[in-house]
Amino acid sequence: MAKNAELDSVDVRILAALQNDSRIPNKDLAAAVGIAPSTCLDRVNRLREAGVILGYSVRVDAEKIGRPLQALLFIRVQPHRRPLVDPFIQHVLALPETLELYHVSGPDDFLVHVAAENPHELQRLVLDEFTDRPEVALVHTNLVFERRDAGPLLPPG
């Protein structure tokens, strides 16, 4: 297991602010956490170099780009071996409908979050891109009615 980064209360406030708005200008971030802009920039760079901040991203409204139907696909691969798992992961990540992929433990091997245009396209996706693959033993599909973000991820304590 990786060693935890040592974070003080200023680092935690920086992480919270960036998770709420990753586009916040450095001078505004510095003001929000009560430090000088140069110090803030140094701390953000240190958090990035330590691997605490992994990157910045843009969230897109799937409905507004024509993919309003979201689902969670629980997938079982048989046999569950690397020569089959690695190509399966590459295949899933290359699909334009894939939002997220998790390799999990339990009765299923993968959880795939997808966004489709409509029920017909979701059915096509499941049948043609998943169950048609020889290593896929089972797919069960749960529709997503609503998604909510939790608060920022902060260290314990």
Cα separation, 157 vs 149, in Å, equals: 21
Per-residue pLDDT, 1 = 37
In CATH, which of 2.40.50.100, 3.30.70.920, 3.30.420.280, 1.20.1050.10 is domain 63-144? 3.30.70.920
9-49 CATH: 1.10.10.10
Of 151 and 31, the structure prediction assigns the larger pLDDT to 31
Average pLDDT over residues 104-112: 97
Cα Rg of the chain, angstroms: 20
Q: Among positive and negative, which fits the CA dihedral 127, 101, 136, 90?
A: positive
User: Is residue 54 predicted with pLDDT exceeding 60?
Assistant: yes
The pTM assigned to this predicted structure is: 0.85
Instruction: Kindly report, residue by residue over 21-34, the tens digit of the pLDDT.
Output: 999 999 999 999 99
Domain boundaries, given as residue ranges, for the chain: 9-49, 63-144
Rounded to 5°, the CA angle 42-156-10 comes to 25
Contact, 40 vs 14, CB < 8 A?
yes
User: What is the model's pLDDT at position 58?
Assistant: 87
Q: Which two tokens stand for residue 109?
A: 């091997």
Contact 44, 50 (CB under 8 A): no
